[in-house]
Amino acid sequence: MHLLVSGTDHRITGEALVPNSKYHAHRALILASLAPGVSRITGLSDARHVQYTVGLLRGLGTKIDIDGDTFVVHGGPYRPIRDSVSAGSSGTTLYFMIGLASLAQTPVVVTGQKYFQRRPVGPLLRSLEQMGVQLESADDCPPISVAAKRPTGGHVTIAGTLSQWISGLILLAPFATGKTVIEVEGELNEQPYIELTVEMMKQFGLTVGVSADWRRFEIEPDQQAVPCDLALPPDIGSAAFGIAAATIHPSDILLRGIHQLSGGAADHPEVHFLDIAREMGVPMELADGGVRIQHDGIRLKPTKIDCRGIPDMLPILSVMGSFADGETTFSNIAHVRLKESDRVSAMLQLNQMGGDLDLDGDILRVRGVGGLTGAKLSSFNDHRVLMSLAVAASAARGNSTLTYPNAYRISYPTYLEAMNGFGLSMSVEGGKPSAEARVARPLPAEAARPDLAGGTTLSDWLRRWATERPGDVAVLDARPRGTTKITWAELNRRVDVIATRLLELGVQPGEPVALQLPNWTEFVIIALATMRIGAVCCPLMPIFREREIAFMLRRAKARVLFVPDTFRGREHASEIAGIMNDSDDAPDTLEHVVVLPGDVNGGGDWAPGAVAWHDWNELLAGDVDHAGIAARKPGPEQTAQLLFTSGTTGEPKGSLMTAGTLSRAASMEIRHLGLNADEAVYIPSPLAHQTGFLYGMWLAMELGVPQIIQAVWDPRRALQALTDGGGSFVQAATPFLADLVKAVEAGAEAPPKLRIFVATGAAVPRGLAERATRVLGTAVCGAFGTTETCLGALSAPTDEPVKVWGTDGRALEGIQLRITDDDGRVLPAGAEGNFEINSPTYFEGYLDRPDLTAEVFTDDGWYKTGDLGVIDDSGFIRITGRVKDVINRGGEKVPVAEIENLLYDHPAVDDVAVVAMPDERLGERACAFVVNKPGASLSFADMINYLDDHQVAKYYWPEALERIDVLPRNAAGKIQKFLLRERAIQVRPQRVEGK
C-alpha cells in the first residue's frame, strides 16, 4: 500500500481541531501511575505512541480508565500482571520505563516491537546501572530484564544526545533510596523536552534541583508522588503540519485549540515552532478559538534554525524552507539522525521532487525553489517524515506516493482527515477517496461511560445523530449487485413511518414484533421502529425453517411478522403461508405479515389466508403520527429485545434484554477497545444474532458511525465493502476472519482502514491470528460472550500478542470471572473447571421459563456458561471446551481445544474439530474431523506422526480421523459438535503400528 497524494494549486479552506499533546500525555500518565490515589488527565490523546504507554502501564498493574475525554489513573505500586511489558514502537515509552520498571514488586522484562530489538540504548543502561538499577540485556538493545529493586541513587553521568534518556533518569531518581546527582556530558540537545519533564514532576509533588545551564540535576531520595488533575494542552508538533499546508497553498485555514502565536512562557517543547513560522512570514492571527492563516499566496523568508531545541521539527521546516526565497540552514542536526529514521537523509528526498537540499557536515542547507514535482518517495515508516513529505507533495505538480501510509497514526491519528478536510487529496491507495474522508469528531461521553450509556435507548441515539449530522451516512448496504446508502436523517424518517404503521396495526408496549430478515437496511429500520414505540424486537434467523419459526412465533406470541418474499432460493412468505394453513403448527396469535421485496423476482402465492398480508412499499407511503410516537417513548429499563438461542442443546429459549443493558454492553466494549467516532463498523454476522445486533448495529448507533451490512457472505465482496466504506472494526465469527485472510492471500487487496477484528463464537487458532495480523494488517482480539450475558471477556490490541491470540480475553470493566469445580468451590489460577461470569449485563431471563432461568445461575448469582476454562495469573480466560463436549477417556479428560489448535497449524489442514466417539472399554475416545486444504491430504498416520513430533502425550491422540468437506456450523460460526458426535457413533478406532 502507498499514500497517494495528488498535487493541487487551488485555495484550501476549512478548520481542524489540533490534538492534545502527546508529550504531556506520556509524562502525565507515568507520573500519575506513580502517585497513590486517583489522577484525572483531561484531553485524551489517541496517538498510538501514547496508547503504548497506557498498555505498558496496565501491564505493570496500573488501572487506567477512560471517562469521556479523561484518563482516570489509579496510581500506586507496580504489581505486574505479566512477566513482560512492551513499549510497542514508542521510543518515549521505552526510554522512560526501563528504569521505572525497577519499582515493580516483581522482576519484569521491558521489550518492544520486533524492529525495536535493534534500537541501541547502551548509554541509558550504563547510567541506570550507575543509579543502582539491576538489569540485563544481551546486546544493549531490548528486551531488557529489570530486577525488582529500588535504585540506590548516586552520581550518574549521561550523554546529552537524547532528552528522553535524561528524562528517564530524572523521573526515576526521586524514588531512589539515596540522593541522585545527574550530570550531562557533551552537548545538550532538546532542552525544552527536559524542562517539560521537570515542570510536570512539580505538578505531581516531585522536586528536582536544576543548574542554570540544565546540565546538572540534584534529586533528593524517598520522595512521594501525589495525585494531580490536569488538562493536556494542544500539540504544536501536530499543528505544524496544518500550518505548513496553509502556508504553501493559498488558504483560509483555522486550527482550533491553539491560543498563542509565539513561544513565550508556554510549556509545550515545540512551541517555538510558532516563532520560527512567524520569522518566515507565516500570516497567523488568533481568531475564533484558534489560529487562522489566510492569504492568496506568499513566498516565505529563509531563516537559521538550531535543531538542539526542536529537532523533531526539521522535517516539516525543511518543506517550508523549500518554498522560501533564499537559503534556510539547520545546524546541530547530528542527533536528528538518531530518531525513528535518519530524518535528515529522509528529507533529502525533496531533491527527487525538484528541491534543492544538501548536507554539509552538521548543517542541512535548504534553498527555495520555484515548485516541486510528484515522485515516488519512502517514509521509512517514520510518522514525521511521512506527514512532512505528504504536505510537500500536496503542492507538487502531479501525483506522489509514499510507503508505510499508516505511519501517521503513531502521533497524529486524524492527520488524513484534517488534510482532506482542507481540500487536499491524500488517501491510502485503493482506499476510500479523499473527498469522502470523514471529519474527526469527539466521542460522546455517554458512549464510553457504561454507567451513562445504561440510561439510553437506541432511539435516543438515532434522534441525536439525525439532529447533529443529518446528512452523514448511517447505513451502507453491500448487496451482491451494488451498495446503497442511507443518511441519519432519512433513517430517522423511515423509522418514524414504520413506527406509525406499527401503531396502526395495534402493536402495544412490551409486545414482540418478529422479523425474519437478512442483513438489509430494512432490518435496521424495523428494529428501530419497533423499539421506538416501546415494543420488543424479536429477530429470527433467516436460516430457520418452518419448524423453528412456528415454534418461536408461538412462544413469542407475536402478532406482527416481517419476512422477505424470497431470499437465497427460499420463498419465505410462502413458507409462512404454509405454516398458517397447517392447523397443528399455526401460531394462533399471528395476525399480520409484512412482505418485503425479495432478492429475486417471484415468490409464491401467499395471500389470502388466516392472516392479513401487507406490502412493505405500501407501508412506507403513509404519514407520520409524531404525537402517537412521542406518547410511547420507551425508557432504558423496558424490554427491548427477545432473542432465541440456537436450540442445539434443547428447544430454543427466548432471552430477554432491556435497552439499558444493551447500551451498557456496547459501551463496555467501546471503552475496553478504545473505539472512537471515526470508526466504520462492518457487520457480516447476522443482525438476527446478538453478535450482529449488539456488537454491530447497536455499537455503530452508539458511536454515531456508519454500519456496513452484508447479507450474502462472499469474502471478495466483503473486502470491497470494507474498502469502499472505510471499515475499521469487525466483530464476527472465526470463519469470517479465515475467509478474509484466504482472499487476500489469493491476491485481493487488504482493507486499508481495518484495525480491529474481534473474533467470537470460537477461539481463534493462534496460527490464523498470526496470519490475519500479518495479511490484513489488523489487530485480532479474542473474546467470549453469550446471548444471556453479552461480552464477558475480551482482549485488546495493546495486550501482549500471546494473550491476544492465545486466549479468549480478560474481563471487561465491571465484570468478574471465576473457575469452579463441580461442587462450586472456586479454583485457583491455572486450574481447569466450570467457567462462570458475574456481570452487570445479565439478561432478564428466559421468556415464560423461570425454571430454565434459575438453572443457569448459581446460588450466589453467577451465570454458568456451560464451558470449561482456565484463568491464568493475569486474568485471561482460555476456554478449553464445552462441558457437554468433554472427552473422558478412561477417566482422563482430553484437552480438546489444545489438540484442535495444534492440528489447525498443520499445513494440510483447513479446519478441524475433535469430538468424542463411544467406546465400550474406555467410555469415550477422540475422533478428529478434518477439512483438508485444496490439493492437500492428511492421513491418520500423518496426524499421529505430527502429534508425536510435537511431543503430545499419546493418551491425548485422536484415535480416528474422518475427512469432511465442511464442518457444520450455526449462523454464529460455532461448530455444531452434536452433529459430529452423531456421525462419530459409527466410527471405529484406528491404529498405527509402532506408535
Residue 229 Cα to chain centre, angstroms: 27
* Helices 22-33, 191-203: inter-axial angle, 10-degree rounding: 40
CA distances in angstroms from 369 to 39, 94, 241, 320, listed in the order given = 50, 40, 20, 11
Task: Say if residue 857 is in the same domain as residue 897.
Answer: no
- The annotated binding site for phosphoenolpyruvate is made up of 22, 91, 119, 164, 343, 384
Pairing mode, if any, of strands 12-17 and 251-256? Answer: parallel
What does DSSP assign to residue 171? Answer: H
How far apart, in whole angstroms, are the C-alpha atoms of residue 717 and residue 481? 10
In 3D, which of 418, 459, 95, 472 has the Cα closest to residue 244? 418
Full DSSP string of 877-934: EEEEEEGGG-EEETTEEE-HHHHHHHHHTSTTEEEEEEEEEEETTTEEEEEEEEEEPT
Has residue 706 been placed in a domain?
Answer: no
- Sequence-distant (6+) residues with CB within 8 A of 363 are 329, 330, 331, 333
Q: What is the C-alpha separation between 675 and 728, in angstroms, rounded?
A: 10
Q: Are residues 200 and 251 in the same domain?
A: no
Measure the CA–CA gap between 190 and 197, rounded to whole angstroms.
Answer: 12
Cell of 986: 459409527
DSSP 8-state assignment for residue 695: I
pLDDT digits (tens, 9 = 90+) for 598-634: 876 655 566 667 789 999 999 998 899 999 999 999 9
**Of 35, 12, 32, whose CA–CA distance to 249 is shortest?**
12
Taking the whole predicted model, whether its pTM rises above 0.85 is answered as: no
Please name every residue paired with 969 in a beta bridge, in sequence order, or none if there are none.
Answer: 975
Same domain, 382 and 495: no
- Please give the C-alpha separations between residue 502 and each of 516, 558, 565, 593, 963, in angstroms, as whole numbers: 16, 13, 20, 12, 50
SS3 annotation, 948-981: HHCCCCHHHCCCCEEECCCCCECCCCCECHHHHH
Residues annotated as binding site? 22, 27, 91, 119, 163-164, 312, 339, 343, 384
Output b/e per residue, 511-522; b: 16+ Cβ within 10 A. Answer: bbbbbbbbbbbb
The Cα 272–Cα 237 span in angstroms is: 10
Q: What is the pLDDT of residue 46?
A: 67
**Nearest of 255, 228, 252 to residue 241 by alpha carbon:** 255
Please list the active-site residues: 312
Length of the chain as a residue count? 995
Asked whether residue 420 is domain-assigned, the answer is no
Which of 231, 264, 295 corresponds to the end of one domain?
231
Strand 180-185's sheet: what is its strand order? 154-159, 180-185, 216-219, 209-210
Listed residues 882, 913, 945: the one ending a domain: 882
Distance CA 237, CA 297 (A): 23
CA–CA gap between residue 447 and residue 703 (Å, rounded):
6
d(CA 440, CA 252): 19
Q: What is the pLDDT of residue 263?
A: 58
Of 667, 696, 721, the last residue of a domain is 667
Distance (Å, rounded) from C-alpha 808 to C-alpha 794? Answer: 6
Q: Do 293 and 246 form a contact (C-beta atoms < 8 A)?
A: yes
301-336 burial, b if ≥16 CB within 10 A, otherwise e? ebbebebbbbbbbbbbbbbbbbbbeeebbbebbebb
687 found inside a domain: no
The interaxial angle of helices 91-100 and 22-33, nearest 10 deg, is 20
Which residues of the chain fall below pLDDT 70? 46, 114-118, 263-267, 338-340, 430-442, 583, 600-608, 646-651, 762-763, 801-802, 890-893, 971-973, 991-995
Q: Supply the pLDDT for residue 971.
A: 62
pLDDT computed for residue 978 by the predictor: 82
Selection from 777, 816, 697 nearest residue 431 by Cα: 777
Pairing of strands 592-596, 560-564: parallel
Indicate if 955 and 872 belong to the same structural domain.
Answer: no
**Domain identity same for 857 and 972:** no
Task: Show the domain range for 489.
Answer: 457-667
Whether residues 609 and 640 share a domain: the answer is yes
Q: Are residues 258 and 327 in the same domain?
A: yes
Radius of gyration of the chain from its Cα atoms, rounded to whole angstroms: 31
Phi, psi (degrees; rounded to nearest 5) at 810? -120, 165
Domain-embedded: residue 431: no
**Grid cell locating 112:** 518492544
Closest CA to 806 of 910, 740, 880, 864: 880
Q: Are 229 and 40 in contact (CB under 8 A)?
A: yes
> In terms of Cα–Cα distance, which of 68, 27, 41, 50 is closest to 231?
41
Provide the number of structural domains found in the chain: 5
Query: 315 with 291: CB under 8 angstroms?
Result: no
Query: Which pLDDT score is estimated for 649?
Result: 45
d(CA 375, CA 393): 8
Helix, strand or coil, per DSSP, at residue 67: strand
The annotated binding site for 3-phosphoshikimate is made up of 22, 27, 163-164, 312, 339
Could you give the CA distance from residue 983 to residue 995 in angstroms, rounded to a whole number?
A: 26
Of the candidates 420, 440, 409, the residue with the CA atom closest to the CA atom of residue 777: 409
Which CATH number is 105's domain given? 3.65.10.10
- Cell 475499521 sits at which residue? 728
167 with 39, same domain: the answer is yes
Distance CA 203, CA 40 (A): 13
> 329 lies in a domain?
yes
Domain shared by 256 and 184, yes or no: no
Same domain, yes or no, for 371 and 480?
A: no
Cell of 496: 418514524
Whole-angstrom distance, CA of residue 813 vs CA of residue 668: 7
pLDDT attached to residue 339:
66
DSSP 473-536: EEEEEEETTEEEEEEHHHHHHHHHHHHHHHHHTT--TT-EEEE---S-HHHHHHHHHHHHTT-E
485, part of any domain: yes
Kindly write down the DSSP assignment for every residue of 28-48, as one continuous string: HHHHHHTSSEEEEEES----H
Which grid coordinates belong to 888? 473422558
Element (H, E) at 366: strand 363-367
- Identify whether residues 616 and 537 lie together within a single domain: yes
List the grid coordinates of 845.
Answer: 431471563
Residue 788 sits in a domain whose CATH number is 3.40.50.12780
How many angstroms from the chain centroid is the CA of residue 150?
36
In a domain? residue 327: yes
- Is residue 953 classed exposed, middle or buried when 0-12, 13-18 and 19+ CB atoms within 10 A define those classes? exposed
In this structure, the answer to whether residues 326 and 370 fall within a common structural domain is yes
Residue 862's pLDDT is 97
Q: Quick one: pLDDT at residue 802?
A: 65
DSSP 8-state secondary structure symbol assigned to residue 826: B
> What does the alpha-carbon distance between residue 833 and residue 477 come to, in Å, rounded to a whole number?
43
918: in domain:
yes
Return d(Cα 89, Cα 340) in angstroms, integer: 9
